[in-house]
Structure 1
C-alpha cells in the first residue's frame, strides 16, 4: 500500500482539544506520524482511510475539513523533514494576530431641556359662575 499524507483543518481553541484530535488520529491503523500546526493536522500513514478519519473527528469536533490527500512515493523521512521545515519557515514569517484594542469616546450630550408651560389658575374659587 502507498504512503498517504492527509491534511485536515478543524477548529481547535486550546491545546487540550488539539491533543484529543491527535490522539484520535494516531489511534487509526497504519498511522506513522501526526503533527499539528495552527488549526491544521497533518497525518502520514500506510493505507490510511481519510474518510473514516474525518468521520471519527467529526463525531468529536463537529466541523472538520479535508484539505488535501496525497500519495507519497519518496522516502518518508526526507519528506517529513522537508515538510516540517517548510511549516516552521511559514510559521516564523507569519505575523501573530493580536486582538486590537479600540477606544471610542462618545460626545457629551446635554440632558434634554424640560418643557416649560404656564398653568392658568382662576382668580376666584367661588362656586358661583354667574358673578
Structure 2
C-alpha cells in the first residue's frame, strides 16, 4: 500500500541541509517520490510503498538534527479525505442570527 509521509525540519535554513535530506530520503528502499513543501520549504513529502516512517525520521535526525514526523497517510485514504472535504464544503452553510439583541444606550446630560 502506498503512503504519503510528511516530515518537518524545525531549524533547517540552509539549502545544503535540504539537499542532504532529500538524498537520505531517496536512499531508503521503497521511496518513489520526494518533494519539498510549505511556505519556507521546511517540509519534505515522501511517497512510496512499504516505507518505515520512524526509521526514515530517525535517519534524518541523526544526520540533520531536529526533525518532526507530521503525518503518515495511506494514499487511498488521502483520496477519500479529499472527496469528503469537497462534499462537506459544498454542504455547509453559515448560521448567523438574523436579529441582533439591542441594548439601551444611556445618555447623560452634559453641562
Q: Kindly indicate which of the two structures has a greater share of residues assigned to helix.
A: 2
Aligned counterparts of 1:36 and 1:17: Cα–Cα separation in 2 = 12
Matches within 5 A, 1:18-97: 18-37=18-37, 38-73=41-76
Aligned counterparts of 1:16 and 1:62: Cα–Cα separation in 2 = 13
Q: Kindly indicate which of the two structures has a greater share of residues assigned to strand.
A: 2
What TM-score do you get using the length of structure 2 for normalisation? 0.63
Secondary structure of 2:35's counterpart equals strand
Task: Extract structure 1 runs of 4+ deviating beyond 6 A.
Answer: none
Aligned counterparts of 2:19 and 2:63: Cα–Cα separation in 1 = 12
Q: How far did 1:29 drift? A: 0.3
Structure with the bigger RCO (C-alpha within 8 Å, sep 6+) is 2
Q: How far did 1:51 drift? A: 0.4
Q: How far did 1:35 drift? A: 0.3
Q: Which runs of 5+ in 2 are unaligned?
A: 80-111
Aligned counterparts of 2:65 and 2:20: Cα–Cα separation in 1 = 14
Number of equivalenced pairs: 75
